[in-house]
Amino acid sequence: MARFEETFPPYVPFGSRSLRPVPGGLRGTDVALFQALFNVMNEVLATPIAPPIAIDGIYGSSSVEAAHRLQEYFRIPADGVVGPATFRLLGQVAAPSGGPFFGSRVLRPGDRGPDVTILQNRLSLFRYAQILGGPADGSFGPSTAKAVLAFKQDAVGNGQSGLSSDSVVGPGTYDALFLYTFAGGRTLSPDAEPKGIDVAFIQSLLGLLGWYSGPVTGLYDALTVQAVRAFQRSAGLNPNGVVGSDTFYQLGLMWGSPAPLPFPVAWPPQGVVRVLAAPLSSATQDHHPYGMAAHVINVLEGFESLDVVGNFLPDPSSFGSQYGQYAFTLTDSQSGAVEAQGLMVKVSSDSVSDWAGSFSPGVKSIPPGDVAVMPTPAGSAGGPYGPVVLRGHLGTISRPLH
């Protein structure tokens, strides 16, 4: 069994059921795929939709909110339920050409059908186009078998272990295809005004190849159609602006990179912990105090924390008898609004006054801002504060795609 299926059981074909809130939360690989693809979409769009969500395979409140925000962005009915229209935004069409939908059956050499065409189209957009040797034809022949093997090797390199070492396309390979290929599930026609992750991928690819200069929006707008037509002319194709099998294949020949480039790896997390640290400098005439603020993300679970340390701080009571501890705040640099605050405790001997504190909102994101350390009454994280002793600015951390 592939790693994705082991992590988020049970296996449920992506798009085979609607994802909606139920007591205890729907669970399965289809939920985890939605969460992973939402994070990819959020990362690559020029205007982020919302903070990334944790990938846990449970359709809980954060997933419902993510679906709602995704639907609002693309202007489809926003009900927080992932049904056919929302799956379409994520590259899955329930019933292509009336045949079996992609992921509903195990594919082997010798098979034919619209799901084989989608498999070939998805592979065509990467280095596997050279192995396929031509646009999708819906027939699972020897070249398709070789392309599937090459894709599996690259997927293992991305961290999707446990895939079978053959050309069979089963549950693990389907999930890897959704995780690492993002277009090819449908033809993109200007008349249909398509939108979604597949459009965003084509925009990104055309941008890197020098044909598209606009923002990545996921909307198949006039600028995108113009770029597609220019590319089609250069490739000797009919410049009709329709992105189908021929255009997928020509794009892949020119791009020639392994999946998922140019998009990031959707899963598994690349690393365990991500940290952004910022120095804290003395805000007093005494230059001895110094410290550090660190924004920490637990990549595997999505939890975030702000950890603050102050070294060589004066006794808080030296600023007034009402002060018995130190506290820290994180404030918005523009509005001055307090985004986070926490008490600090003394962590050193009497001769050296070092203090430390932490704030964790769980899986919610911690924004950038200004960090300040100040004396406060004992037990009061919210003040009233004494004068600022340490200050610094915490920038924006590069968030992983869980």
pLDDT tens digits, residue range 153-179? 999 888 888 899 999 999 999 999 999
What total of structural domains would you count in the chain? 2
What's the CA gap between 55 and 223, in Å, rounded?
34
How far is the CA of 207 from the CAs of 80, 123, 126, 129, 201, in angstroms? 32, 20, 15, 19, 10
Q: In terms of domains, do 236 and 316 share one? A: no
User: Which domain-ending residue is among 224, 255, 286?
Assistant: 255
Q: Is 29 within a domain?
A: yes
> Residue range 6-11: average pLDDT?
92
Q: In terms of domains, do 141 and 104 share one? A: yes
Quick one: which of 249, 238, 324, 319 has its CA closest to 283?
Answer: 319
Q: Is 402 within a domain?
A: no
User: Which domain-ending residue is among 196, 229, 255?
Assistant: 255
Give the domain extent around 292: 273-394
What's the CA gap between 341 and 162, in Å, rounded?
44
Q: In terms of domains, do 166 and 290 share one? A: no
End-to-end C-alpha distance for the chain, whole angstroms: 20
User: Which domain-ending residue is among 255, 289, 305?
Assistant: 255
Q: Is 400 within a domain?
A: no
Take residue 165 and report the two structure tokens written for it.
């070492």
Q: In terms of domains, do 131 and 279 share one? A: no
Q: In terms of domains, do 208 and 293 share one? A: no
Predicted confidence at residue 401, as pLDDT, reads 40
Residue 326 DSSP one-character state: E
Q: Is 267 within a domain?
A: no
Q: Is the pLDDT of residue 97 over 60?
A: no
pLDDT-derived band at 137 (thresholds 50, 70, 90) equals very high
Q: In terms of domains, do 12 and 96 share one? A: yes
Q: In terms of domains, do 237 and 355 share one? A: no
Quick one: which of 179, 41, 9 has its CA closest to 50?
Answer: 41
CATH number for the domain harbouring residue 288: 2.60.40
Predicted confidence at residue 316, as pLDDT, reads 93
Q: Left (φ > 0), alpha (ψ -120 to 50) or beta: where does 370 sit?
A: beta
Q: In terms of domains, do 231 and 300 share one? A: no
What's the CA gap between 271 and 268, in Å, rounded?
9
Q: Is 263 within a domain?
A: no
Q: Is 337 within a domain?
A: yes
Cis peptide bond upstream of 10, omega within 30:
yes
Residues 6+ apart with CB under 8 A from 236: none
3-state SS track over 175-222: HHHHHHCCCCCCCECHHHCCECHHHHHHHHHHHHCCCCCCCCCCECCH
Q: In terms of domains, do 235 and 115 share one? A: yes
How far is the CA of 22 from the CAs of 25, 60, 62, 86, in angstroms? 5, 8, 13, 18
What's the CA gap between 36 and 52, in Å, rounded?
9
For the stretch 311-353, pLDDT in tens is 889 999 999 999 999 999 999 988 999 999 999 999 876 666 8
Q: In terms of domains, do 289 and 234 share one? A: no
Q: In terms of domains, do 81 and 230 share one? A: yes
For the stretch 15-70, pLDDT in tens is 999 999 999 889 999 999 999 999 999 889 999 898 889 899 999 999 999 999 99
Q: In terms of domains, do 294 and 251 share one? A: no
